[in-house]
A = this chain, B = another copy of it.
Amino acid sequence: MAGILYLLPVPIAAVDPADVLPPPVLATARRLGYFLAEDARSARAFLKAAGHPRPIASLQVVEIGHAPDPDLIDGWLAPLRADPALDAAVVSEAGCPGIADPGAELVARAHDLGIPVRPLVGPSSILLALMAAGLNGQRFRFLGYLPQAGEELVARLRGVERDARLGETQVFIETGYRNQRLFETLLRQCDPDTRLAVAVDLTGAAEFARQWRIADWRQLPVSLRPDLSRRPAVFLLGTAPPARQRAPRDTATGGRRARH
């Protein structure tokens, strides 16, 4: 028996946590006293904004950092093994822990140690961008960051665009101050018929999510283009969704499909 390791999403924009987390998720955040946080300061700010009833300084918030040290993980998880009544939550700086963010290292080890793992519902810019893109959501690939260097980026984009045009949506991200450059490289390098979706500040006050063909993006007056600089953005390349790949009919259950 061991405590539970929750995977607790946090907001991806400057909004009240109560606006992007279901009430039971918020209640879990308020109940716990032990947090494994990518960044301790932002985790405490989240807990305060989430209305945690205890003094924030009294909560145990351990900073696991952007690249958790494998040698420290067992120590971080030890309290859960010692006390089945003690639960913890992994929180990243924004969005879902373990997805384009640290956390998976701890989850993997929790499984090895028999610690139950519970993912909680919350915002993910990757998932929201996929929904908003109107590209193929039956097959997609998250690539993380593309190469920074110009030539290397252009070479990589060739392969990425080829896969996109074969019907697999390609999803990637960039750090704030390189967004604009990546966007311009995409407009310059991609085929006019390739579809590009850009999602910025999702769930935030300045949310922007559009998908057009590269040719249409190029024609867009500069004044109407999204301002991407230093704003969180997700980029997606793809084609129009194909006539849908149907789920194999589940005759044994009267034609009901699986619930995903």
Which residues of A line the B interface, CB within 8 A?
Answer: 7, 12-13, 18-24, 66-68, 70, 93-112, 117-119, 121-145, 148, 168, 173-179, 195, 202-203, 207, 209-212, 230, 232-234, 240-241, 243-250, 252-253, 256-260
Contacts and interface: CB of A to CB of B under 8 A. Distances in A.
Contacts of A257: 66, 93, 175
B141 A111 contact: no
Contact of A253 (B70, B132, B230, B260): B230
A120 to B, nearest CB: 8
Given A23-B23, A108-B240, 18 more contacts: A20-B121, A21-B22, A66-B257, A98-B133, A99-B127, A104-B241, A105-B240, A107-B131, A110-B134, A117-B132, A124-B260, A125-B260, A139-B142, A139-B143, A140-B141, A174-B258, A230-B253, A234-B260
Q: State the oligomeric state as a number of copies.
A: 2
Contact of A104 (B125, B134, B246, B252): B134
A22 to B, nearest CB: 5
Contact of A132 (B7, B95, B244): B7
Contact of A121 (B142, B144, B203): B203
